[in-house]
Amino acid sequence: SMLVFGYPTQQQKDRPQTSRFPQKMIVMENGYHDLTEEELQEYYPDDKAQAFYKRKYVSDFAWEMDRSALEILKNWEGK
C-alpha cells in the first residue's frame, strides 16, 4: 500500500481524472475475500480488461521492452 499526501497542481486539477474501481471493491471489512466472477465482471468489464491487456502486453512499447530485455540478456550471457 502507498499513502501520498500533497496538493495537486493546477494542471492535474484541469485534466480528466482516471477512472477508479468502486470503493466496495477495494475496501473490505474484517478481512478480504476473493471476488466472484460476477463481481469481477461488474467492476472490471471486458472492454477495460482488453484495453489494459493491449496497453501492457501488445503495444509497441511492450514489444520494444521485450526485445531490448532479450538483447541485454544475450550480452550478459556472452552470446
From first to last of its 79 residues, the chain has per-residue pLDDT tens of: 788 899 999 999 999 988 777 888 888 889 888 888 888 778 776 777 788 888 888 889 889 999 999 999 999 988 7
CB 15 within 8 A of CB 25: no
**Does residue 63 sit within a domain?**
yes
Residue type, 10: Q
**Does residue 9 sit within a domain?**
no
CB 22 within 8 A of CB 45: no
**Does residue 62 sit within a domain?**
yes
Per-residue pLDDT, 67:
93
**Does residue 57 sit within a domain?**
yes
- DSSP code per residue over 42-53: HHS-HHHHHHHH
- CA torsion angle 66 69 75 79 (round to 10): -30
Find the domain containing 53 and state its range: 45-79
Q: What angle do CA 60, 66, 67 make, to 5 degrees?
A: 85
